[in-house]
Every structure is written in C-alpha cells, then in structure tokens.
Structure 1
Amino acid sequence: MTSATSPLFQGYRLGDMSLPNRIVMAPLTRNRAGAGFVPSDLAADYYAQRASAGLIVTEATQISQQGQGYQDTPGIYSDAQVAGWRKITDAVHAKGGHIVVQLWHVGRVSHSSLQPNGGAPVAPSAIPANTKTFVNNGFAETSPPRALDASEIRGIVEDYRRAAANALKAGFDGVEVHGANGYLIDQFLRDGANQRTDRYGGSIENRARFLLEVMAAVIGEIGAARTGLRLSPVAPANGLSDSAPQPLFDHVMDELERLHPLYVHVVEGATQGARDIAPDFSFAALRRRYSGAWMVNNGYDLALAERVLAAGEADLVAFGRPFISNPDLVERLRRNAPLNPLDRDTLYGGGAKGYIDYPVLEPVD
C-alpha cells in the first residue's frame, strides 16, 4: 500500500474528535513527574512532539496517592496536578493533536514507601503480586497487600469519578480507564488475584462488578463519548492469571456494549511480549460483542497495522515504545523510514536525555 491508500493514514471520527490518522500513541510510563507528582514542564514538550498521532493516551496517571505504584509517576487528584496537565493539553492542542489521560490505580503493584502513612497496598485479596516496582531509583519487590474491605470500594470508585472530572478541568479530550496489565481493576476481574467471597468475588458477574461500577461512574461524570477503556484479557503482567478468560471477557464485553464507552483498547497477548500466548482465546469474539471503536495493541508494525485495518479487525492501532524514540513516528511510518533505536537506560526517570532529544526526519520538499 501507499500512504495515499493505506487505511492507517486515513482520518477517523472518534466521538467528537476528527482524528487525522488511525495511529494512537499508547500509554508509556516514564517516571519523570516533579514534586507533588505534578507532570513536569518537559512533559509538555514530550507530548507536543508526538501530537501528529491521531490520538495520544498519556502515561498511566494515578487517581489518588493510594493508587500510586511507581516512583515519580504523575497524578490527577490535586489542583497542582490539574494545572500541570493543563500545560500539556494546551501544548498538544496547539499542535492540532488530541489527548486523553489514562486513569490508574495499581492495587497490589506498589510499595509501602509510596502509600499513605507507609501502609500496605490494597488489593481484592491479600495475595502478593510477586513482581517488582520502581522505587528509590531502582527496582524492588512489591509490598504484601491487604484485602480491601467492601466498605472501601465505593470510595475508590468515587476517586475514579473525581479524576475524570479533573481530566476535563485539565483540558483533556477524554479519559482511558486502565483495566489492564495486572493493576487494580484487572486484579478484581481475574480469579488468580481475586478470591473474595462477597459481591465482588467468586462468579464472573461479581468479579466484573468493580470494573463496571468504575465505568458507570466515569461515564456518568463525563459521558460515554469521552470515556475509553484498556483491557489485557490474557496478559500475565504483574503475576496475574485467570482460569477461564474467554467467558469472563465475553461477559465484560456484553456489559460494555450496554454502557457503550467511546472505545475499547485491547492488548493482544502478553504485554510487551508474545502475541500468541493464548491460542485458544478469541479476540475476534470480543470484537463481535462490541459495536464501538476497537483499538488494538501489542507488537504492531506498519504491515500488521495495515492488514488488520484493511480487514476491518480494528479501527485504531496503538504503538507504544516506538513512539518513545520516534516523536515523528507517524511520518516515519508514512515514508516507511527506519526507526531510531531505543535508549533503554533512559526509559524510567531522568530528564531531557532519552525523553525530548530523539531526532526527527528532515522535511520533504
């Protein structure tokens, strides 16, 4: 295909947004927030450099201090954080871009040093994540979690609602609820982490309840046309598993069809890993259950992205780490140009190096 005929470079109407292409910048944690977990001024440059993406989904952004799991990640629960994000949305919009914020509660994937009063991270059940987090400029084992009391869950749902309201104050075009990669919502969904015996555990309907309450609260606050959701049905990220993911996520998709958020963003296979880890799982079956915009993610290159779009298997394709080292990724894909190598030593934390200093292509006359 040529750039003129490729569906990847065609416009797409997503809610109230007219996207110039079908390329999405996926959320990418960079651990560069400043004091008070306020996004830095450098972040405005970082995101504005990448505004040629049809849509930007920000790095995961905690809805509360309790929701934080990694050092120097930004929040969206204080006035200072909202003001910091406003600089970023203004910079992206000035370049003609569109941007949504990913709302995040990590659950058990945290460290007590990050939690209020040094407390234990929270989870559906007191089952350790058996993974590492980034604290004190290095990686450390996550702290053992405590099980949430049922009376606490409503407060966390309210934190999501408040964060969505703050997102609009900060100038975002919408939000993406982070329900993937082994964090709190995913922990409630999957029986490898959820062994509750109350209305939030046991049956598929009960385990899906928290996700659906969060989605209903966010949609009730800002509208379905501004609300997306990310899921990773089979990813083993952060020690997560489920005994029967197909019926679980079939049910989730049926319920989402009723709520009808703006889009569903699906990680196919293992996050940042193999796409074929669950050959019996049918992502196509999920797609058939949901009539809204379908965004796919995980290991996509130009050829695969064009193929799935041309076949109608997706509406949007999200690219992750290629956007870190290629702020002009859209143009590089359009020209089928080589990509800059990724400097892995600067992925997490630091300053401008490996953040806003990657080279871009020379303009074509």
Structure 2
Amino acid sequence: MKRIKKSWPINDQANLLNRLGDMTENGYNLLDGLRLMELQMNKRQRTEMSAAVNRLREGEPFYQVLQALAFHKEAVSICYLAEMHGELSVAMRQSGGLLERKLTQVNQLKKVIRYPIFLIFTVFVMFYILQAVIIPQFSGVYQSMNMETSRTTAVIFAFFQHVHYAVIGFVLLALGAALYYWFGFKKKSPADKMLFFVRIPILGRLVILFNSYFFSLQLSSLLKSGLSIYDSLKAFKEQSFLPFYRQEAEQIINKLRAGESIDRALYKHPCYENDFCEVVLHGQLSGQLHRELFTYSQFLMDRLERKVEKWTGILQPVIYGIVAGMILIVYLSMLLPMYQMMNQL
C-alpha cells in the first residue's frame, strides 16, 4: 500500500483507534469494524480507508496499514507490538488514548500562547513604526533645534537606530540552527538525538518521563503475553518506527548477553527516570514484572500530565510579562522625548 502524503488529523487518528478498539473487543473483526467506520469518514479518508480494507483482506498486517495511512509513529509501533502479544484491541485503545493526551496538551499550549503571540506581533509592528517613522522625526527635531538630549532619550534613540542589528542577528541564528539541523543533527544516532533533547531545560524532564512511560507500558504488554524479557526486547529491536527504542533494545540485549541484568542495564540511564531500574528489580523479585511495569507506567503518565499543566501555567504569565515590558519600552520611547522637548522650549 502506497504511503499517503498527507496524514490524518491527530483527533481523527485517535477517534479511529479508540472506536476500532472498542468494536473489536465487542466481537467485531478488523474488516467489519473498518467498513463501519468508513461510513463516518469524509471523501478523502473514505478512499484511503477503502484501500486499507483491501490490503487487510489480502493479509497485510494492521500496523502496516496504519503506517501507510501516515498515522503517528508511536501509535503504529504500539499496534506492531500488540500483533505479537495478541491484545490488539487493548493496544488500539492505548494508542488512541496516547494521541488524545498529546492533542489535549497541544491544544492547552495553543490556548495559552495564542493571545500573547497576537500581542507580541502587534508590539513588533509598533516597534517598526517607531524605528522607521517616529524616532527619526524626533531625532531630526532635536538636531534642527540644537536641543540636547538626556541620557535616557539618547539611549532610546540609540536602541531604535541599532535594533535592525538584533533582527539580523536573530535571522542569522535561525539560519545557523537550520544548517546545523540539516547537516549535523540529522546525521546523529537516535541515542545522541535523544540525549540532545534530554539536556534541554524543562523539555528534557518531560522527555525523560515520556520515555520511561512508553517503554515500561509496552514492555509490560509484551511480558504479560508470555514473552521473556529477551524476546520482548527483541520485538522492540525489530520494529522500525521508533529508532531510539530499537537502538536501546539492541544495547540492552548486548548487556544481557554479557551477563548483566536488565535493571543494571537501566541503572542511571540518562534517558529514563532514576527509579525505573528499581521498579524492574522489584518486579523481578516479586515475579510480577509485567504488573509492576504497568502500574509504574500509569504513575508516570500522571506525573507527566501534572508537569505539563505546571509549566503551561507558568508559561502564560512569563509571556505576558515580556509583552508588558515591550509595551513599556514603546510608551517610554514616545513620551520621554516629548517631555524633554517640552521642558527645553
């Protein structure tokens, strides 16, 4: 099946996976469920889903159909692993729930920054008018009347006379970042890329929580199906959707072959929570590793959602503070030269 160029909206992906998971759990097979879902779709999605149904009828795995439909990589990988442990309906609901959480977090962030971004854009327009029109006129009046500018006014004039250098510097910085991404970052290994994100303040903490959540949840599902730790890691190694987890599984397998335990392989790993290895050790000692990992994954998701809510709540006042500072500069830029001019007349 040829991969489509435009992916479905995240909301539609989550809706399909959640409903299809519920339907298959209630006795529908995949083909019947997809045919019924097809009736609720728009024209483009219906055409693509019709091709997907035909591929399923020919025996193509469900995860490959999702991959061809350009579904989210994490959702595809969950369904891929599920086809190994036989709980596809549960995996589809997990995938749908994961996508719904991502969509909720993105919508929260958009809601927080939408109005501040409009204010920042408006202030930048005012900055441009000041720099291009108003400040040069003030400066011309001072020169023509041989009036002496105060230190504050001189600083304001100098700021707007050189503000274009800051704009040029920002453009060069963005260009440098783009060049680094295309010629440097893209060539790094998946582990190095993940380490880069982990080291970013605030974002790194969220990345670590999500890595620990995703790995523990999927490993729990594989172990619950009766696979050994080695076979479960091998399943991660054989998937091609998430290169980081594939490389991680390969490295852990090599350590297991060298005689290390899995908890030692995860000890002080920079991309996972520090207590991840302790949970694995406790689960091995109790003989209920799959149960311990599943419970731990739910704790991690709660922790991740609280962190996102916390930093989203902090972000909005910070943005408003920046906007307020920019507006203050605009007002001072217009009022101080006028007051000084009036005092010297």
Calculate the TM-score normalised by the size of structure 2. Answer: 0.25
Calculate the TM-score normalised by the size of structure 1. Answer: 0.24
Answer 1 or 2: which has greater helix percent.
2
Answer 1 or 2: which has greater strand percent.
1
Greater relative CO (CA pairs within 8 A, separation 6+):
2
Q: Which has the larger radius of gyration?
A: 2
